[in-house]
């Protein structure tokens, strides 16, 4: 066997076995039979396709687009659509025991479009009559149903009573579930259904949810249809219960919207179907409005940015944005913005910081840092002439070092000015500050006219301040003893 054929066989076996494993099982007790039949009715789609079609039509659909029927009347009823109008199910199968004679008579009495005296000419070749094939399919259905009974004793009992017919087995199930029904007592199955219906009626909606409403409604109607007509909930009762499901939500807007919709559409209070349609319209509209309100609140939290969450990028070419420029840079000729070019000394500051030190942008950044440092030093250490004079004058208890410095600088009687450092120079040691004391010749040869003090520290700014003659003469005597004279140039 080829690999392709083995895969086909394995797929076919899986397709045939998997649905049967999902069908509900039954232990054979009468108390659970009603619940099992209800679950089985909801799981008919899990049966093999030929069995599912046979359960509602009593016919067999072949792969060559033909429908095998049990008898002539069966074929005519199926062809005319009368069988489909009867809503047969697996729990209420078509009557194939009498070859559909009783059902055909019922169709004639109801005025269905079927011939009064049917002949073979009334059927086409698409409806071949093959009773043996129908009986084989009926036996296959019986075997599938018996496999769902877990009790071996109950399984053997039903197999004996069904006489190789799946439809007859289903009628036995339906009969046994009502076995305890009498004129004075309800059957356990009916009591169980009423108990389930009572439980479904006690369920409440917790929010404006279309899913919750549909789930509760479907459960109620599913159970209610299985109860005998005399014990079923009526249409006015169902309509009132559905309206109360909405009213119990305590939502004034929802209650008002439902009342308005019922009035506008002229929905009678006792029409359950139209009431459900009105509730569906109102819930759907309310849910859509709630979604729009949620979007609006989220937009307000984002500052009105809308759905995108941010503003549109600027379209101006001045800032560049994230798109490359259309023309090359006029500094280097490359296709990038001039504000990012390392050859541009006026580039943006963040690009100056990362530019090479020898590039125009890097040199501009170095100069900018130096200017900032110099300005900061001047602002921190600059002194006014009045402050310098006050520091130079001092008092008798002042710093002797500063007095000696001034005395040595002023021992030339013809000197009129002195170049000295900042006002806080007295707080430094002379040997760290003084490198040379030089005299500059005046108008006549050999006559000094100006005395200069040179300082070693490059970080100290220099200030030229005129010193009064009285200060120079009063300090002359002290200068000779504290600071040695240097020979004139």
Q: Are residues 84 and 170 in the same domain?
A: yes
Helix H or strand E encompassing 455: strand 448-455
Would you say 152 and 146 are in contact if contact means Cβ atoms under 8 Å apart?
Answer: no
Residues 152 and 290 in one domain: no
Residue 354 is encoded by which pair of tokens? 């990362």
Nearest Cα neighbor of 425 from 395, 396, 390, 468 is 390
Contact, 34 vs 181, CB < 8 A? no
φ/ψ bin of 221: left (φ > 0), alpha (ψ from -120 to 50), beta (otherwise): alpha
pLDDT at 46 over 50: yes
Q: Where is pLDDT greater, at 163 or 472?
A: 163
**In terms of domains, do 221 and 159 share one?**
no
Looking at the fold, whether 356 and 415 belong to one and the same domain comes out as no
* Domain contains 489: no
Where among 177, 205, 222 does a domain terminate? Answer: 177
Give whichever of 176-180, 195-199, 309-313 has the largest mean pLDDT: 195-199
**What are the structure tokens assigned to 81, written together?**
């659509």
How many angstroms separate the CA atoms of 142 and 90, rounded? 11
- Widest Cα–Cα separation across the chain: 160
CA distance 398 to 391: 9
170 and 214 both lie in a single domain = no
How many other C-beta atoms are found inside a 10 Å radius of the C-beta of residue 148? 14
Of the residues 114, 143, 177, the one at which a domain ends? 177
Quick check: 320 and 327 in contact, CB under 8 A?
A: no
Higher per-residue confidence, 353 vs 434: 353
Give the pLDDT score at 32: 75
pLDDT attached to residue 479: 45
* Residue 347 within any structural domain of the chain: yes
Residues 207 and 278 in one domain: yes
pLDDT (0 to 100) of residue 396 = 45
Q: What value does the mean pLDDT take over residues 256-270?
A: 90
**Residue 452: its pLDDT value, please?**
43
Model confidence at 306: pLDDT above 80: no
Residue 228: predicted pLDDT: 82
pLDDT level of residue 277 (50, 70, 90 thresholds): very high
- Same domain as 349, residue 443: no
> 100 lies in a domain?
yes
Report pLDDT digits (tens) over 476-485: 444 444 445 5
* For range 441-462, the mean pLDDT: 43
Residue 470 has pLDDT above 70, yes or no: no
Structure confidence at residue 117 (pLDDT): 87
Is the pLDDT confidence value at 270 over 70? yes
Question: Are 113 and 80 contacting, i.e. CB atoms less than 8 angstroms apart?
Answer: yes
The 10s digit of each residue's pLDDT in 188-207 is 777 888 888 999 999 999 98
Residue 216 belongs to some domain of the structure: yes
| Phi, psi (degrees; rounded to nearest 5) at 59 | -120, 175
**Among the listed ranges 20-24, 139-143, 218-222, 432-436, which one has the minimum average pLDDT value?**
432-436
User: What are the pLDDT digits (tens) for 96-118?
Assistant: 888 899 999 999 999 888 898 88
pLDDT over 80 at 12, yes or no: no
Position 435 pLDDT exceeds 50: no
pLDDT at 419 over 50: no
pLDDT tops 90 at residue 294: no
pLDDT greater than 60 at residue 163: yes
* 366 lies in some domain: yes
Domain-located, residue 45: yes
Q: Is residue 82 located within the same domain as residue 171? A: yes
Separation of alpha carbons 217 and 279, rounded Å: 11
In a domain, 183, yes or no: no
Instruction: Give the separation between CA 484 and CA 489, rounded to whole angstroms.
Output: 16
Q: 329 or 384: which carries more pLDDT confidence?
A: 329
332-350 burial, b at 16+ Cβ within 10 Å, e below that, comes to eeeeebbebbbbbbebeee
Residue 243 lies in a domain: yes
Confidence class for position 464, pLDDT limits 50, 70, 90 = very low
* Tokens standing for residue 101: 């004679």
Give yes or no: residues 286 and 415 share one domain.
Answer: no
Q: How many domains does the chain have?
A: 4
Alpha helical stretches, state H, 317-450: 349-354, 360-381, 385-393, 400-409, 430-433
Based on the fold, state whether residues 198 and 164 are members of the same structural domain.
Answer: no
Looking at the structure, do residues 242 and 215 belong to the same domain, yes or no? yes
User: Mean pLDDT for the chain?
Assistant: 74
Which of 177, 208, 241 lies at the terminal end of a domain, its last residue? 177
> Are 387 and 421 within 8 A, CB to CB?
no
The residue range of the domain holding 458 is 385-482
Question: Length of the chain in residues, anyone?
Answer: 489
Winning range, highest mean pLDDT, from 276-280, 294-298, 339-343: 276-280
Q: pLDDT-derived band of residue 9, with 50, 70 and 90 as boundaries? A: low
Q: Which of 109-118, 180-189, 230-239, 430-439 has the lowest mean pLDDT?
A: 430-439
Indicate if 358 and 454 belong to the same structural domain.
no
Question: Does 376 have pLDDT greater than 90?
Answer: no
pLDDT at position 317 is 46
Instruction: Quote the pLDDT of residue 20.
Output: 59
């Amino acid at each position: 066997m080829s690999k392709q054929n083995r895969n086909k066989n394995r797929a076919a076996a899986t397709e045939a076995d998997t649905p049967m494993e999902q069908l509900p099982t039954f232990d054979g007790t009468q108390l659970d039979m009603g619940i099992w039949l209800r679950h089985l009715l909801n799981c008919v789609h899990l049966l093999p396709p030929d069995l599912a079609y046979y359960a509602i039509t009593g016919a067999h659909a072949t792969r060559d687009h033909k429908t095998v029927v049990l008898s002539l009347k069966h074929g005519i009823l199926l062809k005319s659509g009368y069988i489909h109008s009867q809503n047969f199910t697996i729990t209420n199968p078509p009557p194939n025991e009498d070859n559909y004679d009783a059902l055909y008579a019922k169709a004639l009495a109801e005025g269905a479009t079927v011939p009064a005296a049917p002949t073979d000419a009334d059927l086409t070749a698409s409806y071949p009559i093959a009773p043996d094939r129908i009986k084989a399919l009926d036996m296959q259905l019986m075997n599938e149903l018996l496999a769902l009974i877990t009790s071996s004793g109950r399984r053997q009992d039903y197999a004996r009573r069904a006489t190789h017919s799946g439809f007859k087995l289903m009628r036995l199930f339906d009969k046994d579930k009502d076995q305890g029904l009498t004129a004075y007592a309800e059957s356990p199955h009916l009591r169980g259904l009423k108990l389930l219906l009572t439980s479904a009626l006690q369920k409440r909606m917790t929010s404006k949810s279309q899913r919750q409403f549909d789930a509760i409604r479907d459960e109620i109607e599913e159970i209610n249809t299985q109860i005998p007509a005399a014990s079923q909930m009526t249409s006015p009762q169902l309509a009132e219960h559905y309206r109360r499901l909405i009213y119990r939500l305590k939502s004034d807007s929802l209650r008002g919207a439902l009342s308005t919709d019922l009035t506008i559409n002229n929905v009678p209070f006792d029409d359950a179907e139209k009431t459900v349609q009105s509730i569906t319209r109102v819930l759907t509209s309310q849910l859509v409005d709630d979604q729009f309100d949620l979007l609006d609140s989220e937009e307000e939290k984002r500052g009105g940015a809308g759905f995108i969450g941010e503003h549109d990028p600027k379209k101006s070419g001045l800032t560049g944005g994230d798109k490359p420029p259309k023309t090359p840079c006029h500094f280097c000729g490359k296709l990038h913005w001039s504000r990012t070019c390392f050859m541009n000394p006026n580039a943006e500051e963040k690009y100056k910081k990362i530019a090479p030190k020898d590039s125009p942008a890097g040199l501009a950044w170095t100069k900018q840092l130096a200017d900032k440092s110099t300005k900061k030093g001047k602002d921190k250490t600059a002194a006014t002439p009045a402050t310098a004079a006050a520091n130079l004058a001092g008092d008798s208890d002042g710093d002797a070092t500063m007095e000696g410095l001034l005395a040595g600088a002023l021992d030339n009687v013809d000197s009129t000015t002195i170049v000295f450092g900042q006002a806080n120079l007295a707080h430094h040691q002379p040997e760290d500050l003084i490198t040379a004391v030089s005299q500059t010749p005046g108008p006549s040869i050999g006559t000094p006219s100006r005395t200069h003090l040179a300082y070693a520290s490059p970080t100290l700014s220099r200030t030229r301040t005129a010193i009064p003659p009285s200060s120079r003469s009063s300090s002359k005597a002290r200068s000779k003893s504290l600071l040695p004279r240097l020979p004139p140039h």
